[in-house]
Amino acid sequence: MDLVVVMKSGAAADDVQRVVERVGELGLTPHTSRGEFRTIVGAVGEKTPELQQQLEQLPGVDHVMAITQPYRLASREFHEADTILDIRGVRIGGPHVNIIAGPCAIESREVLFSVGRAVKQAGAAILRGGAYKPRTSPYSFSGLGREGLELLQQAGAELGMPTITEVTDPRDVPVVCEFADILQIGARNMQNYNLLLEVGRTSKPVFIKRGLAASITELLMSAEYVLSQGNHRVMLCERGIRTFAEETRYTLDLSAVPVIQERSHLPVFVDPSHAAGKRDLVPALALAAIAAGAAGAIVEVHSCPDRALCDGPQAVLPARFTALMEQIRQVAAIVGHRVTQW
Ligand code: PEP
Ligand code: MN
């Protein structure tokens, strides 16, 4: 069982250093994480009963606690209240429900802006669109790269919406940070630890999608990688896992929502689009996610899905999305949540 020493906010660097040294003297391995508001020193190793009390007495220490899960900063034990993020005025987590919507990929200015306008008008809070697309085939459209990021930034600015886009390579982290508000870690990269460390060193919120065959503990360990670097603005997303079911692209594991909420303070989203793979199934899964208490959903929308360069079959049309938003508002109200309104 590991210990976590939570320093007082504004604790002096000397106090932190003293804790690190003391943890080392006690035969434990210290691990320091400097957050926006507080510094935390993890102490890994066998602990004696006196240890906790001894550390608690050091100057600058707020409290010391034992963590039973393999993840610490992501755990409810560490942070009892729901984490609520503020991303350019959009509040995420707790009772807030936010819908992220847009095309799978940024294909052109026309498609991005027309879909963006439609989803904004319907009440979506955040605009999505991929510029670096991880594709199963090396011959598929793999995104517009920097040019796509520029379009996304322009659309977000014009519509007044924060933007989210996937980053697949640690070398692209700076350019994605320059143009987008939220860094998406895709399912295929959930365990790309160098990428997780790199985004953890930025000050941008990070949205981590569950791997196709990852357990919930593994997803929370991925969040821990980001948190361990001092970036505490992390969101999680259930997007379907591989099972024997053939009728859908993946199987949406809705139980992940309450399970993660029990174990972690981080907001949990659901992606009904990639789980379903078929647009007709998307509304039912999106509503089920909101009913399960999710912090929101990320939905792929396209104005002309039969011409989409990526994931057309699962994209809902703007009109269907608008109707879905109304249903989402009603379901959110039933579970005591509120959809961010414009
Ligand atoms: C996406 O959101 O477009 C995407 C590629 O999702 P995932 O990583 O969940 O497959
Ligand atoms: Mn997609």
Residue 12: CATH number of its domain: 3.30.70.1140
> What local confidence, expressed as pLDDT, does residue 1 receive?
64
- Helix 318-334 × helix 109-122 angle, to 10°: 30
Atom of ligand 1 nearest to the CA of 237: 9
Considering only CA atoms, which residue is closest to atom 3 of ligand 1? 104
336 alpha carbon to ligand 2 midpoint, in Å? 30
- Whether residues 218 and 323 fall in one domain: yes
Asked if 100 and 267 touch (Cβ cutoff 8 Å), the reply is no
- State whether 231 and 322 are in the same domain: yes
How confident is the model at residue 153, as a pLDDT?
98
Number of domains in the chain: 2
Structure tokens at 334: 């039933």
Q: How far apart are CA 98 and CA 120, in angstroms?
A: 12
Structural domain boundaries enclosing 15: 2-67
In a domain, 76, yes or no: no
What pLDDT does 184 receive?
A: 98
For residues 53 and 105, state if they share a domain: no
Task: pLDDT tens for the chain, 342 residues: list them.
Answer: 688 899 998 899 999 999 999 999 988 889 888 877 788 898 888 777 788 889 999 999 999 988 888 999 999 988 889 999 999 999 999 999 999 999 999 999 999 999 999 999 999 999 999 999 999 999 999 999 999 999 999 999 999 999 999 999 999 999 999 999 999 999 999 999 999 999 999 999 999 999 999 999 999 999 999 999 999 999 999 999 999 999 999 999 999 999 999 999 999 999 999 999 999 999 999 999 999 999 999 999 999 999 999 999 999 999 999 999 999 999 999 999 999 976
Which of 104, 112, 285 is the pocket-test mutation for ligand 1 (most atoms within 8 Å of CB)?
104
Return the pLDDT at 46.
77
Question: Which ligand neighbours the alpha carbon of 311 most closely?
Answer: 2
CA of 221 to the centre of ligand 2 (A): 24
CB under 8 Å to 151, separation ≥6 — which residues?
106, 108, 109, 112, 129, 144
One domain for residues 176 and 315: yes
Q: pTM of this prediction?
A: 0.92
Residue 161 has what pLDDT?
A: 98
Residues contacting ligand 1 via CB (< 6 Å): 104, 130, 186-188, 209, 239, 271, 274
Check whether residue 34 and residue 96 sit in a common domain: no
CB-CB neighbours of 203 under 10 Å: 9
Q: Which atom number of ligand 1 is nearest to the Cα of residue 128?
A: 2
185 inside domain? yes
Number of neighbours of residue 10 by Cβ within 10 angstroms: 9
- Ligand 1 midpoint to CA 183 (Å): 12
CA 213 / ligand 1 centre spacing (Å): 14
In this structure, are 123 and 8 located in the same domain?
no
Distance 273 CA to ligand 1 centre (A): 9
Output the pLDDT for position 342: 62
